[in-house]
Amino acid sequence: MNNKKQILTFLAGIAACLSIIAVLGAANSPQSPVEPIPNLEVYYPGTEALGADEMRVTACGTGMPNSRPKQAAACFLVELGNGDKFIFDIGTGSAERLSAMKIPYDYLDKVFIGHLHADHFGDLDALWVGGVIANRQRPLRVWGPSGPEKRLGTASAVEHMKAMFAWDYASRQGNVNTVGFEVEVTEFDYKGVNQIIYDENGVTIRSIPAIHALDGPVSFILEWNDLKFAFSSDTFPNTWWKEYAQNADLAIHECFITPWDLVAKQNWAVADALNVGTQVHTSPAQFGKVMSQIKPRMAVAYHFFNDFDTLPGVIEQVRKTYGGPVSFSTDYMVWNVTKDDVRVRMAVADDAVWPLPSITETLPADPKDKYGFSDFITNGRQPFSDVVRQVYEDTNEQFGTDYPPPD
């Protein structure tokens, strides 16, 4: 890779940004010293109403298979003006990004998984168990593809996830309400072409086959209110995407890091970097060709480490094959989509966010469901009864309750 070209591309991007800022600044009227700033160019989660005809999409994971503080693995949250919310992929590290959106877990109950790589469903357990603790009084609903063998399908993966968390489930029985531990899995045929896998409340979601690593992966097309959202998950360029993602309002497609950055940053063998970067995944130049074919209102590139020294090379390669509108995504990027506009901003995340209170009445656990301790462990307890008694008295006084301390 020509370093000089990278530097020139990077500087050109900075110059373009500064030009835009200058124009915007000149167009704005003087700002009052005491009034709020109108038309904020950032999104503060939980502070904006969603229009009845509006779609909001938030990037909760845009990075590589190894999650990092800046970028979790693949995850996109789609919120619709009818109140529905959908999660597309839930890769490693993305659950904390979802929590930063300040949405009660009750609403985060529909997950669509494109394939079963950890960087695309590795935080399903965190959303599942986190929802139980946050009083999600409904099953977690999961849609995902079958595999070339039963053991390689979504239903098998979820069953084994539940088995892996058997101790977690048993330990919470009798301590918290466990209705939310139920998982409803809809496994569909990965070979289905434009097959409807979800059709509720005016929202239709279809799946199309994808090409990635092994038989099984899929991409998704969501349609609602004459708006079209397309999400590739991971895939090599293919004819199904070309046909069914046409003219999407928002088309999110993988755009992997360049082979030379894989070599330079992680010391990959050149042959492996070329294979993974152009055959297992979609390279930036291939991404551009894909978007040139489907002509979306807004293309979104994801699945690369978006850094000051990698982004210029990605942009340069994309622009060799695509001249349309594109967002080079990073975590917390937000798109507000209506029939008239696609607005792109960054969200401001609260690092100290707590789970929002449930919209459902919190039901106390039934103590009789407790799994209990063995005599060996029970005999090792130091109850400090006087301290616990005082905690109960103080708490009962504060909330007007009358719970007796345990014996």
Domains of the chain in start order, with CATH, are 44-347 (3.60.15.10), 376-407 (no CATH)
SS3 label, residue 221: strand
Helices (H), 101-143: 118-121, 124-133
Q: Among 321, 280, 279, 278, which Cα is nearest to 299's?
A: 321
Sheet with 183-188, side-by-side order of all strands: 42-43, 342-347, 333-337, 55-61, 75-80, 85-90, 110-112, 140-145, 183-188
Q: Is residue 400 left, alpha or beta, with left meaning phi > 0 and alpha meaning psi from -120 to 50?
A: left
Token code pair at residue 128 = 């599942």
* pLDDT per position as a tens digit, 135-156: 999 999 999 999 999 999 999 9
The larger pLDDT score, comparing residue 30 to residue 13, is at: 30
The residues, ordered by sequence, that sit 6+ positions from 40 with a Cβ below 8 Å of its Cβ are: 345
pTM attached to this predicted model: 0.91
pLDDT tens digits for range 76-121: 999 999 999 999 999 999 999 999 999 999 999 999 999 999 999 9
> Average of pLDDT values for 14-42?
62
Query: What pLDDT score was predicted for residue 26?
Result: 44
Express each pLDDT in 357-382 by its tens digit: 999 888 888 888 888 899 999 999 99
What is the tens place of the pLDDT at every residue in 168-182? 999 999 888 888 999
Helix (H) or strand (E) holding 141: strand 140-145
